[in-house]
Structure 1
Amino acid sequence: MNHPGLHLPLGPLMLDVVGTALTEDDRRRLRHPLVGGVILFKRNYESPEQIAALTREIHALRSPHLLIGVDHEGGRVQRFRAGFTPIPPMRRLGEVWDEHPQRARLLAKDAGYIMGAELRAVGVDFSFTPVLDLDYGASGVIGDRAFHRKPQAVVELAHALMLGLHEAGMNAVGKHFPGHGYIAADSHLEIPVDERPLEDLEFADLIPFRQMIDWGLAAIMPAHVIYPKVDDKPAGFSRRWLQDILRGRLGFEGVIFSDDLAMEGASVAGGALERARAALEAGCDMALMCNRPELADELLARLQWPLAPVSLVRLARMHGRPHPPSRVALHESTRYTKAVHHLAGLGPVDAELAFNDPSNTCGKN
């Protein structure tokens, strides 16, 4: 068994932890060579001080430290409440863009800065944001998480949000490649099928991904959606999508994170081991297994997958950059207080809507 702080390269799996502090089972899993990251949920959060202590403990286990990510998009999907600024749903920024594009871009950058700075101040490396899906009005699970129906609006606002995250010391993760907004089915609960040909996707849903890649997007999460006119496998298990199109045609050189392998949309690949292998063989650098500790243990016991050097380099870029020395220093900074003031001009965020919707990367709070 490895000891805390032992030098150990990052592995290809991202797992969750049970509660607000690490258990012995958590430590055992996180010290395993196959693990490279931890995703946090609402159940892991009590206060800024508690979450900072948890991230410190996770980071102390290994060197280089495990990546820590969270679904913190704003609106319905914001894991940490008390002590964090409520971020409006991204559709609200899209509505501003319709009337005042420049104001909307500034607000998106402020939103990204606030999200990034508050998360970095408690030791989180990155958030799984922004959503680059188009809002066709069909998908309940995407809905107001999307900026807009128009690709150009999504491009401009997502880019501004990414610039805000970068300013705060955090990279962005675009999702859900190549687009989850067109169909009503929820991949947390079923296997969605999008019958559109590649040409239709290229002139709509793929536009934000292509442009964000050109602007340096660090990471992408593919959808558990089947596009049968392109491939018979969900995008996250498809070499056609991840290697030929994303890496080849679009020239993406960043991290590919799988969506949660415990979701129903991943079931077409088989059991836990088959799902992980399928995702990694298709081209994912890191595979997520959430909320199923028994499946996580199965993977740790049976999966064999040494990360390629290029994946290690990509993942190293997801470590958060230096952040304010304390939350107090952040809250006293002019940049932060102005950003919070600007965002407050959009009006109050409905707390029930913002914090109690189950929609998220891994399907649970």
Structure 2
Amino acid sequence: MLLIGLAGTEVAEHERAWLAAPGVAGVILFARNYASREQLLALTGAIRDTGGEHLLIAVDQEGGPVQRFRDGFTRLPALSRIGAVYDRDPEEAVRLAEEHAWVMASELRASGVDFSFAPVADLARGNAAIGPRAFHADPEAAAELAAAYVRGMHLGGMAAVLKHFPGHGSVAADTHKAKAVDPRDLDAIRAADLRPFAEAMAAHAEAVMMAHVVYPAVDTQPAGYSPAWIGQVLRRELGFAGVVISDDISMAAAGVAGSVAGRVQAHLAAGCDLVLACFPDVVEEAIAAVPAPPADAAGKLAPLRGAVGATWAGLLDNPQRDRFVARITALDSHEGNA
């Protein structure tokens, strides 16, 4: 089952067949798909009118450097801003994490989007791709804040997707551009990187996105291609029963599985329920590589569908939202950085 990328701000004629393909579960949107809130509502409506109401619509709306929809949406600070508050006031940081998540989730739900790939549960330990996207370097702090973020997303009517399992923050390379290898053994990863994921799973996160990182002490394949990581560690050891999602098959580190078709099939064979084909130029080949969906596919993915959300007008009429927005946006002000 695929989440696919579209080219522009409307559904193109050739993309209609993609949306109707039985192996397509939904769409992941990017900045290239966004011009305004009004246009976004029209696009999400057109996607479902074309492919069916069952289609999921997702985006990366973490805040900081990764926020696809900006104009017309609250400018969300990077999660590291909340981690900085944790160092001086853990209780305040937990509140801010919940509020940040609620604002993000409620705005997307009012715009026809089911879920964001959030929160980042990686540790902030210098990875080139993660940077300020992670809460904290300390596993205990990151775990408490990730769980709080999941609670806030749920209050906003949105499922949570933890990324990038089993932890992308402790290896330097950026998997968008190169192969990344983390040589630590499983015990070291359990003691650090797995803790935020376990805490957020205990808060009932609905999904996990896999890392394209290789952990050779566990498996020679990147985690998203690894039955050891998905079946043994994530499913059996941690008891996770939710949805498992690959990272984008177009990333450089995904190339170890060969062709686009090979990447899709390797993710599915390893235990991924959803595979991301983010760039339109790989979608045709990805669709052709997907077998008939299993009979229980719709039920498996149902938890990712957003709850009924408020309208945008309803959000603007909510004094609680005003308070939350003021508090989280202050994190990027001079006072918030002090």
Partner of residue 166, structure 1: 154
Residue matched to 1:304: 291
Alignment match, 1:230: 218
5 Å-filtered alignment, 1:28-107, equals: 28-107=17-96
- Deviation string 1:73-125 (CA, Å, 9 cap, x unpaired) is 00000000111001111111000000011111111111000000100000000
Q: Secondary structure at the match of 1:30?
A: helix
Deviation, 1:300, is 2.1
Query: 1:250 & 1:142 partners in 2: Cα distance?
Result: 24
Q: Deviations over 1:123-144 (max 9, x none)?
A: 000000000101112x111111
Measured in 2, the distance between the counterparts of 1:344 and 1:209 equals 26
Report the alpha carbon displacement of residue 320 of structure 1 after superposing the two structures with TM: 0.5
Matched letter for residue 296 of structure 1 = V
Q: What secondary structure is seen at the aligned counterpart in 2 of 1:346?
A: helix
Q: Which deviates more from structure 2 when the two are superposed, residues 111-120 or residues 312-321?
A: 312-321
Asked whether the 8 Å contact 2:76–2:329 carries over to 1, the reply is no
Tell me the secondary structure at the aligned position of residue 269 of structure 2.
helix
Report the counterpart of residue 113 of structure 1 in structure 2: 102
Aligned pairs for 1:1-365 (under 5 A) are 12-137=1-126, 139-293=127-281, 295-309=282-296, 311-324=297-310, 326-348=311-333
TM-score normalized by structure 1? 0.89
Give the AA of the match of 1:149: A
The count of aligned residue pairs is 334
Q: What secondary structure, in the 3-state scheme, does the structure 1 residue paired with 2:87 have?
A: helix
The 1:302–1:129 alpha-carbon spacing in structure 2 relative to 1, beyond 3 Å, is closer
| Structure 2 equivalent of residue 8 of structure 1 | none
Distance 1:308 1:29 in 2: 20
- Deviation, 1:62, is 3.6
More displaced, 14-23 or 333-342? 333-342
Report the Cα offset of residue 308 of structure 1: 5.0
Structure 2 unmatched ranges of 5 or more = none
Name the CA distance, whole Å, in 1 between partners of 2:64 and 2:325.
15
The alignment-based identity, stated in percent, is 45
Deviations 1:253-289 (A, max 9, x none): 1111100011111111111111101000100001011
C-alpha separation between the residues in 2 aligned to 1:249 and 1:198?
12
Contact 2:16–2:51 (CA<8 Å) still a contact in 1? no
The CA distance in 1 between the partners of 2:304 and 2:290, in whole Å, is: 24
CA contact (8 A) 1:169 1:323 kept: yes
Deviation of the 1:301 alpha carbon: 2.8
- The one-letter code of the counterpart of 1:272 is V
Counterpart CA distance in 1 for 2:231 and 2:53 is 28
Q: Provide closer, same or farther for how the CA distance between residues 240 and 302 of structure 1 changes in structure 2, counting only shifts above 3 A.
A: closer
Deviation at 1:164, TM superposition (A): 1.3
Deviations 1:290-347 (A, max 9, x none): 1142x211222343242351x43221110010101x2111111122111112213323
Cα distance between partner residues in 2 of 1:97 and 1:135: 14
What's 1:352 paired with?
none
8 Å CA contact retained: 1:155, 1:212? yes
Q: Is the 8 A contact 1:14 1:39 kept in 2?
A: yes
Do the aligned residues in 2 keep the contact of 1:260 with 1:289 (CA within 8 Å)?
yes
Mapped partners of 2:170, 2:148: distance in 1: 24
Query: Where does structure 1 differ by over 4 angstroms across 4 or more consecutive aligned residues?
Result: none
Q: Secondary structure at the match of 2:28?
A: strand
Asked if 2 retains the 8 angstrom alpha-carbon contact of 1:262 and 1:292, the reply is no
CA RMSD of superposed structures (Å): 1.3
Match of 1:99, SS?
A: coil
Secondary structure of the 1:61 match is helix
Please say which of residues 277-286 and 63-72 is displaced more in the overlay: 63-72
5+ residue gaps, structure 1, are: 1-11, 350-365
CA shift for structure 1 position 156 = 1.3
